[in-house]
A and B are shown apart, each in its own frame.
Chain A
Amino acid sequence: MALRLATLMAALALAACTPVTFSHDAVIDFQTFDSVYVQPIVVDGNTIFDGYSISLQQDLVGELRDRSGFRSVTTEPDGRYVTVLSVELYVTENYDPIFDDDDDDDDRFTVEASWYLRTLDGDRIDGGSASEDGDYLEDTAREVIGEIAHRYLRAYRL
């Protein structure tokens, strides 16, 4: 009896190979909108972030080149692109004057992003917002930048 059950289980298992597909549909038509100019990122908020705008813009360009469906991603406003990506970040340093001491290690940061993808005529193609909390400003900002790049992930079907 036991042997029969084991044989039946094995037979059922071997007969049951299932196809599985992982897929993603791109949020925009990358055939039509195949290139993007990433504007310098506007950073505002209640803390100090000197130089972050340029480094975050470079981060976003790198991420889009690696992960997105855009054939061309540039920071040069030379007109050789069909879309423009504008990103604004608002950084909040969360500091409790009663419970936190002067040590900056106690601080947490909230980075909120909003972005718009437009044609050269200014027509909106796509946009969105994202928010992350974290202990380190740079890492938290990069997580938000990663979310923007993930939004434009190239289509796949595996």
Chain B
Amino acid sequence: MVRWLGARRWVVASGSTAVFAIAALAAKPAAADETAFGVQGETMLIEDKTVAGLSVYGFYSMFGLQLGFALAWLDEEDPRPPIEGSFIGGLFHVHALVRFAVMQPLTLRAGTGLDAWLLWGIDEDEQKYAMPLVLEARFHVGDHLNLFVQPRYYLIASDGLEIGVAPDGDEGSPFLVTVGVGGEW
């Protein structure tokens, strides 16, 4: 059961992709022989929920792969079944990325992949999947340390995975934003 997002959101996604593409075209590809491996701690900025975890990534030249896992909780316990507590579950992601060196010390990344929300805290077999469009700005603080902001936008998502919609129906930003700190070698 997969839901394609509506036309309005496609316009938002296409627009942000176009802006990113223009920035990327103006930028320089990462050096062809430059490999990089990194690990990062990250948290998603979500209302009334906490999602935090770790990712690892590797790049060869412009192209890379990132794997990550995070755990998710409600900020306040919900005594109602099926959750009976605050633990929601986990988010596993695998993203294929390209990177561009815009200017020192900033790098842009873009990509897509799979986000798998494994909602064990709700039900052992409850899972939601999404295909994100990932854009990222990474700020290199030193030789190895970096900070990043990564908005992601779900192009396709399972029924019942509503980004930008609160449980009471209020609407907000359709972008899931992840921030974090990483080490790169």
A contact residues vs B (CB 8 Å cutoff):
2, 5-6, 9-10, 12-14, 16-25, 67, 146-147, 150, 153-154, 156-158
How far in angstroms is the closest Cβ of chain B from A74?
19
Chain B residue numbers with a CB within 8 Å of A157 are 167
Chain A residue numbers with a CB within 8 Å of B123 are 67, 150, 153
Q: Is the CB of A156 within 8 A of B82?
A: yes
How far in angstroms is the closest Cβ of chain A from B49?
6
Q: Is the CB of B164 within 8 A of A22?
A: no
Q: Report the bound CA distance from A16 to B160 in whole Å.
A: 22
Interface size class of B (residues with CB under 8 A): 35 or more
- Apart from A19-B46, A20-B165, 15 more pairs, CB < 8 Å: A2-B139, A6-B139, A9-B137, A13-B177, A16-B177, A17-B177, A18-B174, A18-B175, A19-B164, A20-B176, A22-B161, A67-B123, A150-B125, A153-B123, A158-B83
Q: Report the bound CA distance from A21 to B122 in whole Å.
A: 13
Chain B residue numbers with a CB within 8 Å of A17 are 45-47, 172-173, 177
Q: With A18-B45, A18-B47 as given contacts, are A5 and B164 in contact (CB-CB < 8 Å)?
A: no
B 46-88 to A, binary, CB cutoff 8 A, 1 in contact else 0: 1111000000000000000000000000100010011100001
Q: Is the CB of A20 within 8 A of B83?
A: no
B contact residues vs A (CB 8 Å cutoff):
45-49, 74, 78, 81-83, 88, 105-106, 117, 119, 122-126, 128, 137, 139, 141, 147-149, 151, 159-167, 170-177, 179
Q: Is the CB of B163 within 8 A of A18?
A: yes
Q: Is the CB of B45 within 8 A of A16?
A: yes
Q: From A14, which residue of chain B is reached at the shortest CB distance?
A: B45
Q: Is the CB of A20 within 8 A of B74?
A: no
Q: With A13-B149, A18-B173, A20-B176 as given contacts, are A146 and B119 in contact (CB-CB < 8 Å)?
A: no
Listed by A's residue number, 17 A-B pairs whose Cβ atoms lie within 8 Å are A6-B139, A9-B149, A17-B46, A18-B176, A19-B164, A19-B167, A19-B170, A20-B162, A20-B176, A21-B167, A22-B128, A25-B159, A146-B124, A153-B123, A154-B82, A158-B78, A158-B88
Chain B residue numbers with a CB within 8 Å of A16 are 45, 151, 173, 175, 177
Q: From A153, which residue of chain B is reached at the shortest CB distance?
A: B123
Q: With A9-B147, A16-B45, A17-B47 as given contacts, are A22 and B124 in contact (CB-CB < 8 Å)?
A: no
Q: Is the CB of B175 within 8 A of A158?
A: no
Q: Report the bound CA distance from A13 to B45 in whole Å.
A: 7
Chain B residue numbers with a CB within 8 Å of A24 are 122, 126, 160
Q: Report the bound CA distance from A40 to B49 in whole Å.
A: 42
Q: Report the bound CA distance from A156 to B83 in whole Å.
A: 9
